[in-house]
């Protein structure tokens, strides 16, 4: 299964990357614009050993290698570290204990800055026993073990232990909380209905949140990660904007105006809900003050305005509008003033998503070949690049909270599935593999 998955990803990445390089010709501009201002930190994972306790030897081996695999994937996706294969740089680890292996001393001269390792096992044996995982961090600069972690939990949270450890590593070296424990909300087909789901950022542990039997669309997170806002069809005939509490499944209706009520987005401080509604005729943008319940109309024109996306400061909104023909991306102040058009290339640009660092807006662009792909543009309109290429419809870009990745849906391989890609166009990775339709991903804020 995993090998198959890896091959799938590899082949797909390669073909897409080639297609992108050949087609866009924008590589120089792009790399210059997004190159991180720090060097990645070379990190090696020496292994996660088993200390026993699990029912069978096979289960023990799986436990350690499972944690190691999750940890390595998290380290790679952090983009803070570059994952070093220790044997290939001449570091042969003979024994993993609580202290550093003698071979670690050579790490610095081989350019490896950090080595992590650990051990895992079932605490007391038996079926319902807890799993314990110890992780250690060796810093080549100071030639010492700088610290570690000890996690305990049920076997069902083993992946989460690895994610926590990965986030601790990112936190230690950058002061940022990391993205390994973030979630992705999305829409998935259940029978002929479309329901809300949430999964881990790497596509594992999917959970169904709604079972209305009709359509629930376009989830977006509250800034504290407790809620999702989304479009719900009540009785199939009217669209409301609902909110669901993840911990309890409790639901509330925030907007029930009649007509089309779509693309809700809570402001970064959580005090305003921006959304599109056609209850006054055609689709316009509104802003609901979630404290006073006052509703303010933000746009006035005869065309369709939709898909508001907040700037990280909460002072501006990007949105899509077909006021100049096909849909284009516009910007405005959060009170509806100072509207200006941002995109001018081609005749279809929609679904804008403002990056959490504020420096890019991702959106769906229709290429001259009439393919719907992802593009990035700076808020001043000075730089624009096409991020994906090839067949299929790409839709619903959403940024990781660290601003280094974008999750989106694509029909590149037939059915709509969810993918992630780095903001520099590298490491395209498919993250949903089951079901007939997965779409509208929304990346959670960091925890």
Partner 1 sequence: MKRLQSTISLSLALGMILLGMAACAKKTVQSGGETQSSQSGAAKGSSDSAVIAESSQNYPDTALSGRDASGGLRGLDKNPAEERVGGNSNPLLAKVDPGSTGRQLEEIRAEQSASAAAGLRDVFFAYDSFLISDEGRQALSRDAEWMKANPAALLKVEGHCDERGTSAYNLVLGEKRAKAVRNYLVELGVAANRLAVVSYGKERPFCKDHAESCYAQNRRGHVVVRAGK
User: By rule CB under 8 A, what count of residues binds partner 1?
Assistant: 134
Neighbours of 310 (CB within 10 A): 22
188 three-class SS? strand
Interface pick for partner 1 out of 34, 188, 278, 386 (rule CB under 8 A): 278
Which residue number, 5 or 415, has a Cβ lying nearer to partner 1?
Answer: 415
Report the site for partner 1 in 180-209 (rule: CB under 8 A).
181, 183, 191-194, 198, 207-209
Of 168 and 429, CB closest to partner 1: 168
Give the containing element (helix H, strand E) for 19: helix 2-24
Comparing CA positions, the residue from 138, 182, 113 lying closest to residue 441 is 182
Looking at 134, 202, 424, 429, which residue binds partner 1 (CB under 8 A)? 134
Please identify, among the stretches 32-40, 43-51, 52-60, 143-151, the one whose residues bind partner 1 according to the rule CB under 8 A: 143-151
367 lines the binding site for partner 1 (CB under 8 A): no
Residue 63, CA atoms < 13 Å, CB-side half-sphere: 29
Of 1 and 325, the one with the shorter C-beta distance to partner 1 is 325
| Residue 14 vs 29, nearer CB to partner 1 | 29
Give the residue with the Cβ less far from partner 1, 268 or 403: 268
Rounded-to-integer distance, Cα 238 and Cα 248, Å: 25
Residue 210 found at the interface with partner 1 (CB under 8 A): yes
Nearer to partner 1, 103 or 256 (CB): 256
Q: Under 8 Å CB-to-CB from 217, ≥6 apart: which residues?
A: 187, 194, 230, 231, 232, 262, 440
Burial of 303 (0-12, 13-18, 19+ CB in 10 A): middle
Check residue 378 for interaction with partner 1 (CB under 8 A): no
184-209 burial code (b ≥16 CB/10 A, e <16): bbbbbebeeebbbbbbbbbbeebeeb
Subset of 87-126 contacting partner 1 (CB under 8 A) = none
* Identity of the residue, 336 or 435, whose beta carbon is nearer to partner 1 in the bound complex: 336
Position 408 contacts partner 1 (CB under 8 A): no
Burial of residue 167 (CB within 10 Å: 0-12, 13-18, 19+) is buried
Query: What's the first-to-final CA gap in the chain, in angstroms?
Result: 30
Cβ atoms of residues 350 and 327 within 8 Å: yes
Q: Closest distance between partner 1 and the C-beta of residue 218, in Å?
A: 7
* Contact status: 129 vs partner 1 (CB under 8 A): no
- What CA–CA distance (Å, rounded) separates 426 from 388? 10
| Contact track, partner 1, 252-271, x by CB under 8 A | xxxxxxxxx-xx--x-xxxx
Q: How far is the CB of 408 from partner 1 (least distance, A)?
A: 11
Task: For residue 354, give the nearest of 331, 336, 338 by alpha carbon.
Answer: 331
Of the candidate residues 6, 61, 105, 154, the single one contacting partner 1 (CB under 8 A): 154
Report yes or no: 440 and 198 within 8 Å, Cβ to Cβ. Answer: no
- Rounded to a whole number of angstroms, the minimum distance from the CB of residue 410 to partner 1 is 11
Of the two residues 93 and 206, which places its CB atom closer to partner 1 in the complex? 206
Q: Which of 212, 316, 346, 427 binds partner 1 (CB under 8 A)?
A: 212
d(CA 139, CA 156): 31
366-388 b/e (C-beta count within 10 Å ≥ 16 → b): bbeeebbbbbbbbbeeebbbbbb
Q: How far is the CB of 45 from partner 1 (least distance, A)?
A: 16
159, 205 contact by CB (below 8 A): yes
Query: Does the protein bind partner 1 through residue 440 (CB under 8 A)?
Result: yes
The answer to the question of residue 51 lying near partner 1 (CB under 8 A) is no
Instruction: Give the contact letters, 54-83, x = binds to partner 1 (CB under 8 A), - = no.
Output: ------------------------------
User: In the complex, what is the shortest distance from the CB of residue 244 to partner 1, in angstroms, rounded to a whole number?
Assistant: 7
Query: Interface residues for partner 1 in 285-344 (CB under 8 A)?
Result: 286, 288, 290-291, 293-301, 304, 306-307, 320, 322, 324, 326-327, 330, 332, 335-342, 344
β-pair partners for 350: 364
Is the CB of 76 or the CB of 149 nearer to partner 1?
Answer: 149
Task: Tell me how crowded residue 9 is: count the other CB atoms within 10 A of its CB.
Answer: 16
């Amino acid at each position: 299964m995993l090998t198959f998955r890896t091959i799938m990803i590899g082949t797909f990445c390669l073909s897409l990357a080639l297609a992108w390089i050949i087609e866009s010709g924008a590589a120089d501009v792009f790399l210059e614009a997004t190159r991180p201002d720090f060097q990645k930190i070379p990190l090696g994972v020496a292994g996660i050993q088993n200390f026993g306790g699990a029912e069978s030897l096979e289960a023990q081996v799986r436990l350690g290698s499972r944690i190691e695999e999750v940890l390595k994937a998290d380290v790679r996706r952090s983009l803070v570290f570059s994952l070093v294969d220790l044997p290939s740089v001449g570091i042969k680890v003979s024994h993993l204990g609580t202290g550093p292996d003698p071979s670690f001393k050579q790490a610095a001269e081989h350019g490896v800055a950090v080595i992590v390792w650990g051990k895992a096992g079932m605490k007391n044996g038996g079926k319902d026993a807890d799993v314990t995982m110890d992780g250690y961090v060796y810093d080549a600069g100071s030639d010492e073990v700088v610290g570690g972690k000890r996690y305990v939990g049920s076997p069902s949270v083993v992946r989460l232990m690895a994610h926590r450890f990965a986030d601790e590593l990112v936190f230690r070296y950058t002061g940022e909380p990391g993205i390994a424990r973030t979630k992705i909300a999305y829409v998935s087909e259940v029978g002929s209905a479309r329901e809300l789901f949430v999964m881990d950022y790497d596509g594992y542990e999917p959970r169904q949140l709604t079972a209305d039997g009709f359509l629930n669309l376009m989830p977006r997170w509250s800034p504290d990660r407790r809620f999702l806002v989304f479009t719900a069809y009540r009785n199939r005939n009217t669209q409301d904007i609902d909110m669901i509490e993840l911990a309890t499944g409790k639901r509330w209706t925030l907007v029930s105006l009649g007509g089309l009520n779509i693309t809700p987005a809570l402001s970064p401080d959580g005090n305003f809900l921006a959304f599109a509604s056609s209850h006054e005729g055609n689709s316009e943008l509104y802003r609901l003050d979630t404290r006073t319940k006052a509703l303010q109309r933000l746009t006035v024109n005869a065309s369709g305005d939709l898909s508001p996306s907040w700037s990280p400061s909460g002072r501006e909104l990007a949105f899509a509008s077909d006021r100049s023909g096909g849909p284009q991306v516009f910007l405005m102040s959060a009170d509806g003033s100072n509207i200006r058009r941002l995109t001018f290339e081609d005749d279809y640009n929609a679904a804008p998503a403002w990056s959490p660092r504020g420096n890019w807006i991702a959106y769906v662009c229709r290429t001259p070949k009439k393919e719907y792909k992802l593009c990035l543009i700076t808020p001043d309109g000075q730089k624009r690049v096409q991020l994906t290429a090839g067949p299929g419809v790409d839709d619903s870009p959403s940024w990781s909270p660290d601003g280094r990745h974008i999750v989106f849906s694509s029909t590149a391989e037939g059915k709509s599935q969810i993918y992630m890609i780095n903001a520099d166009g590298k490491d395209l990775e498919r993250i949903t593999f089951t079901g007939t339709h997965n779409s509208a991903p929304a990346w959670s804020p960091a925890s």
